[in-house]
Amino acid sequence: MTSRYKVVIYDCDGVLLDSIESNYIFYNRIMKGLGRPEIDRLCSESERVLHTFSYLDVIEHFFGKDPQKEQAIAIGKTIRYKELMPYMRREEGLVETLTTLKGKVELAICTNRAASMEMIIEDFGLEGFFGCIMTAGKVANPKPHPEPLLKVLEHYGIGPQEALFVGDSAVDMQAAAAAGIPFIAYKSDLPALAVIERHEQVLEYVLRKKLQLTTD
């Protein structure tokens, strides 16, 4: 079965993994190390920042010109990310969908994570699926700038309409729009080519395969 798309690109946090709890733990360890109160879990803006911003952009958001900013960055570098893995959860149906897509289209990741993707790929059984993993550490301008997505297109030598980007945040949507790549919103009501609640629904758009989905 052929596809009009040559590459399906996935965001990581909120799409491949439910990782919000690990993000709170990570940044609250930084706050604790500086003697500061924990980040307010009831603040929707803080949750948005933790979920979508790159590491340095999160630090910039919370510290700005605060003289403790460099110390915060240093503390973050001492945290063993492996300890946070138990607080993450792989999204249901992900591996089954990737298995169906593998060999029919190329698969890639575009994330604002900087240095933890290899560990995540290994720990969550995602080895062998993704031919390109574009992180914030590989670009000058992370999402919502289009640079990371454009680098994925360059890696595969394709145009923007030959790719599909699956994301869950306004940052993802803005990056896709700026790069000219069709966007699918996962568990989100953002403006998009399609809004999906389950990973296997991607197959309808990539492989033009109608699915009989059951409801829980």
Q: Is the pTM of this model over 0.85?
A: yes
Helix axes 20-33, 69-78, angle to 10 degrees: 120
Query: In tens digits, what is the pLDDT along the chain, a chain of 216 residues?
Result: 567 899 999 999 999 999 999 999 999 999 999 999 999 999 999 999 998 898 999 999 999 999 999 999 999 999 998 899 999 999 999 999 999 999 999 999 999 998 889 999 999 999 999 999 999 999 999 999 999 999 999 999 999 999 999 999 999 999 999 999 999 999 999 999 999 999 999 999 998 754 444 444
Beta strands in the chain (DSSP E): 7-10, 17-18, 89-90, 106-110, 132-134, 163-167, 183-186, 194-196
Lookup: tokens for 147: 């640079």
* Contact criterion met (CB below 8 Å) for 95 and 102: no
* Distance separating alpha carbons of residues 45 and 53, to the nearest angstrom: 11
What whole-number distance in Å separates Cα of residue 113 and Cα of residue 11?
10
